Amino acid sequence: MSDDTVTPAITEPRPSTERDSWDLYEVFVRARRGLSHNHVGSIHAPDPQMALKNARDLYTRRQEGVSIWVAKAKDIVASAPDEKDAFFEPAADKIYRHPTFYDVPAGVQM
């Protein structure tokens, strides 16, 4: 018998588990009142309530958060940085959105 012969291992397909069907949630934490929520990471969970509890346990260990948001990753839609000009350029044509378009009434202190 030669050592050159290697018998390939037969691998069984991995059985599907309940965790395979869990959704991916993006986690946002607000550190203090008055600040914006910041994206801190992702988490898998079977439902939003469990995602919220797991996010609290994982991302706010030292009591640094006052508010947590979780959102299914598949439900988040965002603009691409490459499309910045095409996406935001139309707003430049709307001069009525600029504060310089309006006159300040007499008696108003700024």
Tokens 């965790």: give the residue: 19
Using one digit for the tens of pLDDT, what is the confidence trace for 16-74? 566 678 999 999 999 888 899 999 999 999 999 999 999 999 998 777 788 999 999 99
Residue 59's domain is classified under what CATH number? 3.10.20.520
Return the DSSP state at 46.
S
- Name the residue range of residue 44's domain: 18-78
The structure's pTM equals: 0.61
**Lookup result for tokens 């801190």:** 40
| 8-state DSSP, 109 | -
pLDDT at 109 over 80: no
Which pLDDT does position 96 carry in this prediction? 66
Could you give the number of structural domains in the chain? 1
Please give the helix or strand (H or E) that residue 32 lies within, else none.
none
Which helix (H) or strand (E) element contains residue 56? helix 48-59
On whether residue 67 sits in a domain, the answer given is: yes
Taking 60 as the threshold, does the pLDDT of residue 13 lie above it?
no
Let me know: does 28 contact 39? Beta carbons within 8 Å: yes
Burial letters 33-57, b for 16+ CB under 10 A, else e: eeeeeeebeebebeeeeebbebbee
Residue 87's pLDDT is what? 77
- Could you tell me if residue 92 is inside a domain? no
